[in-house]
Structure 1
Amino acid sequence: MLNLFSIFDPSTKIFSLNWISSLIGLFIIPQMYWLMSSRILFLMINFMLILWMEFKIILKNKFNMNNLLFYISLFLFIMMNNFMGLFPYIFTSSSHLIYSLGLSLPMWLGLMMFGWIKNTNFMFVHLVPQGTPFILMFFMVLIESLSNIIRPFTLSIRLTANMIAGHLLLTLLSSFIPNFFLFYLIVLILQLMLLILEISVSLIQSYVFVILMILYLKETNYDKI
């Protein structure tokens, strides 16, 4: 059982070279000024345009181009880390809590500091939803405060747990080698199906992470940014 989790071991040193695997995806992303026009560059540009329009719809009239560029870059960074972890002998940084918490906690702290310093009254109003009875107002303040505090942890745990679950399933199936050829073929087909599922999960989880951060940004009275 310990050998199963050894694939997630980043080493016990102060800094392990395994974390450099997070930068491998940067070499795959096509650079417009380094390469000639190609199909992968065309695909990447269309993909970023789709993300741009999707995030712009969520923000509606409260739109800031600089923030959208940051969130698109964050989406590509998380997606490439999730995707690179599917290759053999490449360290999966997104399956560790320190990676996802290091992304979600600073951004959440920045949004909370901006909201409570610049829009204090607006943040206080957010603690009590509209139409709440007077008796339940005190409980709603506690519930909303707790939900705001646990947001970075839910973001990081969701990303980490989904990546760990898929990698563990692939490891378990790869360790199971039956003697009969038909069983071996079934296991191979199951692994290919799980691999396709993991590719979609790596895309979906990065999308969910960025979408939730945009929604948290929108709740801090985005029109004053």
Structure 2
Amino acid sequence: MMANLFSSFDPSTSFSLSLNWLSTFIGIILISSLYWLIPSRYSFLWNKILITLHKEFKTLIGNNNITGSTLVFVSLFSLIIFNNFLGLFPYIFTSTSHLVLTLSMALPLWMSFMLYGWINHTTHMLAHLVPQGTPPLLMPFMVLIETISNIIRPGTLAIRLTANMIAGHLLLTLLGNTGPSLSLIGLNMLVLIQILLLLLESAVSIIQSYVFAVLSTLYSSEVT
């Protein structure tokens, strides 16, 4: 049994350095190799996914989008999904389970959207604070509510991704620690449950990376 349940999320190593953060760049190495190898089914599938995401993000942003604006969100999706998947392998650090990484992605995006919107589309941003049809008596409260919801957006983006990745990993760790005390039948059941949980975590890895990218795209569409 581990002394600390959260030790599996500790980025430090035996060298007292945070070398585990280097696992973040494994996905970048895997993607770059596609440009130097003979095209395979894997590369065609990945390109198909990226093209589909590009079309969907372009639709979400709207007609006023700048050429190449979807590349940021496609790259964000790629980085998160590779880190989520790599974290399911043994002895690979899950960097997306830390607020340091998720906030580093969400906060600059939100800040850039807010600065761009308030500098270039001030009237449009002010109109967003008061939904259409709001009674005059409720307008101050709606402005307060909309302001708070805008401020907490980077936090909700980061915490949603972090919490979902931590929850699945903690469940796998808790069940795995009960293995030595189980009988043979119980151990077989545990292995089956762990496999099913890994399949569930794989689906969560895809969904959470997609949700993060789509919400970032929707936030950017509100400032144009």
Is TM (by shorter chain) over 0.5? yes
CA distance in 2, matches of 1:126, 1:68: 23
Conserved 8 A contact 2:84-2:205 = yes
Aligned to 1:4: 5
Aligned to 1:73: 75
Question: Which range is displaced more, 169-178 or 146-155?
Answer: 169-178
Relative to structure 1, is the Cα distance of residues 184 and 145 closer, same or farther in structure 2, using a 3 angstrom cutoff?
Answer: same
Aligned to 2:194: 191
3-state SS of paired residue (1:89): coil
Aligned to 1:82: 84
Cα displacement (A) at 1:15: 5.8
Q: In the TM superposition, what are the counterparts of 1:74-223 in structure 2 within 5 Å?
A: 74-177=76-179, 178-221=181-224
Cα displacement (A) at 1:9: 1.0
Question: Which range is displaced more, 94-103 or 6-15?
Answer: 6-15
Relative to structure 1, is the Cα distance of residues 86 and 115 closer, same or farther in structure 2, using a 3 angstrom cutoff?
Answer: same
Relative to structure 1, is the Cα distance of residues 2 and 211 closer, same or farther in structure 2, using a 3 angstrom cutoff?
Answer: farther
Amino acid across the alignment from 2:105: L
Unaligned runs of 5+ in 1: none
Conserved 8 A contact 1:81-1:93 = yes
3-state SS of paired residue (2:35): coil
Relative to structure 1, is the Cα distance of residues 88 and 62 closer, same or farther in structure 2, using a 3 angstrom cutoff?
Answer: same
Provide the TM-score with structure 2 as the length reference.
0.93
3-state SS of paired residue (1:10): coil
CA distance in 2, matches of 1:89, 1:105: 29
User: What does the per-residue CA deviation read over 1:90-145, in whole Å, with 9 as the maximum and x for residues that have no partner?
Assistant: 11100001110010001100110011111111111110000000000000000000
Conserved 8 A contact 1:30-1:41 = no
Aligned to 2:50: 48
The number of residues matched between the two structures is 221
CA distance in 1, matches of 2:86, 2:28: 11
Aligned to 1:26: 28
Provide the TM-score with structure 1 as the length reference.
0.93
- Identical positions, percent: 53
CA distance in 2, matches of 1:32, 1:168: 33
Amino acid across the alignment from 2:69: N
Aligned to 1:17: 19
Unaligned runs of 5+ in 2: none
Cα displacement (A) at 1:210: 0.7
| Runs of 4 or more consecutive aligned structure 1 residues displaced over 4 Å after TM superposition | 12-15
